[in-house]
Chains A and B, each alone.
Chain A
């Protein structure tokens, strides 16, 4: 008897979940444009900023947005896009989890005759309909140049990289190389912390122990990791270590303002998320659309941080 009651409860729970979760999407009209958005990992603050901006823009334009989160797994991302294709969405937007591994989604969408927009990161298969994002190398160049201007030549630095093979990691490292930062300094160590704050913190702690006062700067490929390195440096009483990163997440900007964090290169998340929706809507309506939208990076430092906090991106880009 008990078992039967449990089964009943279980069923009710399942129905409730599904029905409850269905929520507002029933109101979707027949002609409404539907966009499928495949995010790589919404637990990443920066990615979340992009997807939040996309959701806001979709609301504003009155289009239906289906959001799928691959949670950092390439296979899940491919499955997510397969689901969008079955749902016959009008446009697919994808933030690639991996330059190579996510590439099959482009041909899958092309085969299904669904336009595909690649957002934020590079993808190996360039037969996509449109691209909205940044050139990752540019952020590496801005960060590298700033470091070379603000840290003495020949100083000892360490570099914290993103997940090996991801577009941000490859591009930013190439940016460091392109401006000559790797030769300008004495690079003690290059390690990945997978965009993760805790991993970067552990890494920085180890470096601070190993190299002690010899370590002059830590260059991070994103701010989450930069914040981790900063916490480690401050905890070790080393406020002299110059640390910089990319993304301009809130606490990094606050740290720039407080003077503990050297530079945060702003990658305009809202511009990318909202921009990709705008392009998607244009494609769906059959209007002219830009095939390649590049949203520029800009470095936030002690000089312009006040202006940025007051006036947003527009105040520092012009």
Chain B
């Protein structure tokens, strides 16, 4: 029994070795092809660029672990961006602005959670509606025009450094660590795997499945909020179109990381490798001056290959 479990575990982390290998490979090949790739400046860039997609992907992992999906995160980024822009333009304290943004995003999370967990909407449909509503709210709130952000402390969230490390990277690390601990070392975290694996069985054994589902959407929305703050600070403005399409990049990272869209199987480390790989690849292709149209083709192929390897390794188990 024990041995069997180990073997299963080994099988399930096998595709992650493949991911690590590919990440190392990209790094290796790139350090030959581009003289600037391995410079600390470029590494700083890569991780700062990764942090946007990374934080959303971490939140998205919770939702996808349940077999659900959250398409509304990009729109939440937009709403947070205009709310911050407007309030900062009126001279409000940056910390108060962040708290208000957090509250706004939680409203979106609760809205999604209510539709899915309590009103039994399909997650795809519910969050698609929230996406449309959210984008509309952002445009209506701002009348489609961007706000200018001048608050230096707020701008530091996206542009500042602690020592040599950009603040967005520190936030990314913090989010990863906190979520990793929650998911892997708390009972609450294990519920996500239980509910995602078999909702009925989890409910019968006493797990409050609706609350778990609700909290997944709230976590996802909070992550989107953090990204909204970083992004607005980075571009020094509150843009109603901010975050357009970010949900898809995040889902791609989660998928590459081996989390099953059916729920129950997956890991945060996989997601982390996923977004690091996407970030490395897009930085590499930019450094190599590859036409942006082809970059998208490469990214799509990467998803197919990664998921295929993942499926195959799970197929071998049976």
Which positions in A face B, CB cutoff 8 Å? 2-3, 6-7, 10-11, 13-15, 17-19, 21-22, 25, 42, 66-69, 71-75, 78-80, 82-83, 85-88, 98-104, 124, 163-165, 192
0/1 string, B287-318, CB within 8 A of A gives 1: 11111111000100100010011001100100
- 7 residue pairs from A and B, CB less than 8 Å apart: A10-B22, A11-B25, A25-B288, A75-B242, A78-B234, A82-B48, A102-B235
Contact A25 B241 (CB under 8 A): no
Which positions in B face A, CB cutoff 8 Å? 14-15, 17-18, 21-22, 25-26, 29-30, 33-34, 36, 39, 41-42, 45, 48-49, 52, 139, 143-148, 159, 231, 234-237, 239-242, 244-245, 283-294, 298, 301, 305, 308-309, 312-313, 316
> Closest approach, in angstroms, between the C-beta of A66 and any C-beta of chain B?
5
* Sample of 4 more A-B contacts, CB < 8 Å, known A79-B49, A86-B39, A102-B235: A10-B18, A25-B288, A42-B292, A83-B45
- Please report whether the interface of chain B is mostly helix, strand, loop or mixed according to DSSP: helix
Which of B15, B25, B34, B290 has a CB less than 8 Å from the CB of A15?
B25
Contact B298 A17 (CB under 8 A): yes
CA distance A274 to B22 in the complex (A): 40
Chain B neighbourhood of A83, CB < 8 A: 42, 45, 283, 286-287
Chain A neighbourhood of B309, CB < 8 A: 3, 6-7, 10
Given contacts A3-B309, A79-B45, A86-B42, is CB(A100)–CB(B234) below 8 Å?
A: no
Contact B287 A87 (CB under 8 A): yes
Given contacts A3-B15, A71-B292, is CB(A19)–CB(B29) below 8 Å?
A: yes
Chain A neighbourhood of B245, CB < 8 A: 73
Contact A7 B286 (CB under 8 A): no
Chain B neighbourhood of A10, CB < 8 A: 18, 22, 305, 309
Contact B14 A3 (CB under 8 A): yes
Given contacts A7-B18, A74-B242, is CB(A21)–CB(B36) below 8 Å?
A: no
Given contacts A13-B305, A75-B52, is CB(A104)–CB(B21) below 8 Å?
A: no
Which of B146, B147, B289 has a CB less than 8 Å from the CB of A25?
B289
CA distance A42 to B235 in the complex (A): 21
Chain B neighbourhood of A25, CB < 8 A: 288-289
Chain A neighbourhood of B234, CB < 8 A: 75, 78, 104
Chain A neighbourhood of B34, CB < 8 A: 87
- Please report whether the interface of chain A is mostly helix, strand, loop or mixed according to DSSP: helix
Contact A101 B294 (CB under 8 A): no
Chain A neighbourhood of B283, CB < 8 A: 83
Chain A neighbourhood of B25, CB < 8 A: 11, 14-15
Chain B neighbourhood of A21, CB < 8 A: 285, 288, 290, 294
Which of B36, B48, B236, B308 has a CB less than 8 Å from the CB of A101?
B236
Contact B286 A15 (CB under 8 A): no
CA distance A2 to B294 in the complex (A): 29
CA distance A165 to B138 in the complex (A): 14
Which of B36, B45, B290, B291 has a CB less than 8 Å from the CB of A88?
B36
CA distance A10 to B269 in the complex (A): 20
Given contacts A101-B237, A104-B234, A104-B235, is CB(A164)–CB(B45) below 8 Å?
A: no
> Closest approach, in angstroms, between the C-beta of B21 and any C-beta of chain A?
6
| Shortest Cβ distance from A105 into B: residue | B235
Chain A neighbourhood of B235, CB < 8 A: 74-75, 78, 98, 100-104
| Shortest Cβ distance from A108 into B: residue | B159
Contact A164 B52 (CB under 8 A): no
Chain B neighbourhood of A74, CB < 8 A: 235, 239, 242
> Closest approach, in angstroms, between the C-beta of A21 and any C-beta of chain B?
5
**Central interface residue in B26, B292, B313, by most chain A CB within 10 Å:** B292
Given contacts A21-B294, A86-B41, A98-B235, is CB(A7)–CB(B21) below 8 Å?
A: yes
Contact B292 A86 (CB under 8 A): no
CA distance A10 to B14 in the complex (A): 14
Chain B neighbourhood of A102, CB < 8 A: 235
Chain B neighbourhood of A192, CB < 8 A: 144
> Closest approach, in angstroms, between the C-beta of B116 and any C-beta of chain A?
28
Contact B231 A75 (CB under 8 A): yes
Chain A neighbourhood of B22, CB < 8 A: 10-11, 14
Contact A165 B288 (CB under 8 A): no
**Central interface residue in A7, A19, A66, A98, by most chain B CB within 10 Å:** A7
Chain B neighbourhood of A100, CB < 8 A: 146-148, 235-237, 239
CA distance A101 to B313 in the complex (A): 44
CA distance A102 to B30 in the complex (A): 28
> Closest approach, in angstroms, between the C-beta of B132 and any C-beta of chain A?
15
Chain B neighbourhood of A86, CB < 8 A: 36, 39, 41-42, 45, 287
Chain A neighbourhood of B231, CB < 8 A: 75
> Closest approach, in angstroms, between the C-beta of A64 and any C-beta of chain B?
9
| Shortest Cβ distance from A70 into B: residue | B292
> Closest approach, in angstroms, between the C-beta of A63 and any C-beta of chain B?
13
> Closest approach, in angstroms, between the C-beta of A301 and any C-beta of chain B?
31
Contact A19 B33 (CB under 8 A): yes
Contact A82 B49 (CB under 8 A): yes
Contact B236 A82 (CB under 8 A): no
CA distance A25 to B25 in the complex (A): 21
> Closest approach, in angstroms, between the C-beta of A149 and any C-beta of chain B?
30
Chain A neighbourhood of B241, CB < 8 A: 163
Contact A2 B293 (CB under 8 A): no
